[in-house]
Amino acid sequence: MSTRALPALAATLLLLVGIAAANEPVPDTLAQRALACTGCHGKEGRAAPDGYYPRLAGKPAGYLYRQLLNFRDGRRDYGLMSELIAPLSDAYLQELAGHFASLDLPYSPPQPTTLPAPELARAQALIRQGDAARRLPACTACHGERLTGTQPAVPGLLGLSRDYLNGQLGAWRSGQRRAQAPDCMKTIAQALTESEINAVTQFLASRTMPADPHPADRLPAPAPMQCGSLTP
């Protein structure tokens, strides 16, 4: 065979391999169907590198399910998500939430902070102790002592980007994001000042994940305020 014929032969073989691959049946698995989610939320739901699309992997199934319902039913406003899940049943959304909740994957490294130590200390005090005079509960009261969330429906606050945390607290302040009434996060977000939100999100995004990054089994104590997201 002439050596000049080899490139043409190689191209033909590659084309045949591509056609064969295209004709292979797509596996009917939840992981395969969840690729519609990971296109934005990162491989296996690890989070997108731009920080805008949050991590899904390992979050409590009840929380993920509630957020899917919130997008589908209009309490959260993002057209792409709402349109994607609009035709899906409650049962299917529960199944999808359970899939991502079951994934146990490494977290991205924390982000460095630019805040001076006194502001970080104030943020840590709000997160760990709250502010009783302003009726602000500690974040740990619901999100757990390790801030990795609590079962069955409270998400972790660590392992998320500063931009995402800022965006969500801002959405609660403006009313763009809502949850089932009584909406405790709206109350908390509107009570925080912009500088406090900036400090809290920088503190959280700069924390290294603890040795056990999984959600706690339950709230550390009775919830400090009425919150519709905590009801079954």
Task: Using pLDDT thresholds of 50, 70 and 90, give the confidence band for residue 72.
Answer: very high
**More reliable by pLDDT, 207 or 2:** 207
Superfamily of domain 109-232: Cytochrome c-like domain (1.10.760.10)
When pLDDT is averaged across residues 154-159 and rounded to a whole number, the result is 96
Residue 186 clears pLDDT 90, i.e. is over it: yes
**Better-scored residue on pLDDT, 14 or 41:** 41
Average pLDDT over residues 86-111: 95
CA–CA gap between residue 107 and residue 129 (Å, rounded)? 26
Whether 65 has a pLDDT exceeding 50, the answer reads yes
Binned at pLDDT 50, 70 and 90, residue 11 comes out as: low
Confidence of residue 29 (pLDDT cuts 50, 70, 90): confident
Question: Cα separation of 125 and 218, whole Å?
Answer: 22
The predicted-structure confidence for 39-50, as pLDDT tens digits, reads as follows: 999 999 999 888
* Distance in angstroms (rounded) separating the CA atoms of residues 57 and 47: 8
pLDDT higher than threshold 50 for residue 3:
no
Do the domains 109-232 and 28-106 match in fold? Answer: yes
Q: Is the dihedral of CA 125, 127, 130, 136 positive or negative?
A: positive
Per-residue model confidence (pLDDT) at position 49: 81
- Give residue limits of the domains in the chain: 28-106, 109-232
Residue 77: pLDDT band with limits 50, 70, 90: confident
> Stretch 48-71: mean pLDDT, rounded?
92
Residue 184, CA distances (Å) to 49, 68, 150 in order: 29, 19, 16
> Residue 1: which pLDDT band, with cuts at 50, 70 and 90?
very low
Q: For residue 101, what pLDDT is reported?
A: 97
- The CATH topology of domain 28-106 is Cytochrome Bc1 Complex; Chain D, domain 2 (1.10.760)
Q: Tell me, what's the pLDDT at 30? A: 84
